[in-house]
Amino acid sequence: MSSNRRRFVPLFFLSVCLFSLARNASGQENPDIFPFPVTTFELDNGLKVVGVDYDSPGIVAYYTIVRTGSRNEVEKGFSGYAHFFEHMMFRGTEKYPPSAYNAVVKRIGADSNAFTTSDWTAYYIVANSGELETIVDLESDRFINLMYTEEDFRTEAGAILGEYNLNFSNPISLLDETLHDLAFEVHPYKHTTIGLLADVTDMPNNFDYSVQFYDRYYRPENCIVVVVGDFENDELFRLAENYYGQWERGTFTAEIPQEPPQTESRLARVTWPNPTQPLLMMGYHAPAFSDERIDMPALDVFSQLLFSESAPLFRELYMSEQVVDVLQGGALDSRDPPLFTILARITDSSRIDYVLGAIASEIERLKSEPVDIEVLSETKSHMRYGFAMGLNNPGGIARTIGHYLQLTENPDTVNRVYQLYDSVSSEDIQNVANAYFAESNRTVVILTQEDQ
């Protein structure tokens, strides 16, 4: 979700970024926003390996990307398994049981963790580059030889239920779950990444399905290894061949149902048992990620024009009238069409309809009134250099390029999509505003305290 707070960049940093983005390593002109040399190769089993040359002496970031998230949970009653395997992948193997794995990670002083989204799951280690072979050994072993008992499975499934309950101690989790459930009819984006409560509760009874899920998706053709920092490409290729070469390719192909167009507005009201300010969440079906079509980049710029600190709507509702203390919105880059989601936390329960109307009115204004060229140029500039600010360490670079790799498997996607951002025009903003922000395409969820 795009932040409502525009990231202002110091002039000194801008000058550094401008120089680094304008020149490549040989000093030639380079318009690419991702300025680091990238080498890719693919093993016979389909595993892709991407190396990014970045000047970080003694440090390397190692990401393993699984192109599987809650999007792949298509069977009824089995949501939450992509997130579940984020946990299970730390359950160990015969060679490296959990205690041995953790001991090695501690010995090499590594930062190691994982995360899951609707479209992908990522596992990472950032450590001393002299331990690259140790890292490849650890990660290849657990991806090829994961081993867990039914008792291990039940124990971790119980932990997932605890995580679900912790997440849903926050009213925004209920709001988000309700919005997606109401806005989607058939696509798995209907449920959130952690899964539905009934499915998470029943998870301990589905050991056999967990084995099937692992067998389907934890296969080399569905994974990408990204290495950033201080390493040699020849050595990386040798290690990948030696440690991943015997990993067997899978045969499963996921069939993701296509969401039909929404044809009428939807509204739900939910209550919260504890004291809370009213919350408003709106969702509009938006386009899937593309590095060829202008719609998705134009919508990202549109979100900044609505919700940045200098935007008229933000100044009116947040700064002048103070009827909201949170106002933000945007759409995630997604392999299938997601929701453009708007969130507002309202300071006065009697002003909910007013805030809803003010947001709708500003959207209508942007449909018909061209954006000032200088405002548009400044907005795109801040977005570009805000992005560049994150490319300052191996882990951040690996996560960034990994995000685009999980979408298209092509490392040049990041450069192509930012070329589209640069080309977004005032007319493009009006076009996407009219194409996606019809009332018939809108879902609204309002959360209030039970006794209000």
- 318-357 tens-digit pLDDT: 999 999 999 999 999 999 999 999 999 999 999 999 999 9
Beta-carbon contacts of 51 under 8 Å, excluding residues fewer than 6 positions away, are: 38, 39, 40, 226, 227, 228, 231, 233, 236
pLDDT number for residue 16: 34
Answer whether 0.85 is exceeded by the pTM: yes
Collect the ranges in the chain with pLDDT lower than 70.
1-30, 452
pLDDT number for residue 19: 32
Structural domains present in the chain: 32-244 (3.30.830.10), 266-449 (3.30.830.10)
pLDDT number for residue 136: 98
Determine the 3-state secondary structure of 329 from DSSP: strand
Determine the 3-state secondary structure of 36 from DSSP: coil
In this structure, what are the phi and psi dihedrals at residue 349, rounded to the nearest 5 degrees?
Answer: -60, -20
Q: Do 62 and 48 touch, CB atoms closer than 8 A?
A: no
How far apart CA 252 and CA 266 sit, in angstroms, is 36
Give CA angle at 203 (198, 206), nearest 5°: 130
Beta-carbon contacts of 109 under 8 Å, excluding residues fewer than 6 positions away, are: 127, 128
pLDDT number for residue 204: 95
Q: Do 304 and 314 touch, CB atoms closer than 8 A?
A: no
How far apart CA 312 and CA 307 sit, in angstroms, is 8
How far apart CA 375 and CA 310 sit, in angstroms, is 10
Q: Do 76 and 92 touch, CB atoms closer than 8 A?
A: no
Beta-carbon contacts of 81 under 8 Å, excluding residues fewer than 6 positions away, are: 73, 195, 203, 209, 210, 213
- Amino acid at position 339, single letter: L
pLDDT number for residue 163: 94
Spatial CA neighbour of 63 closest among 151, 124, 137: 124
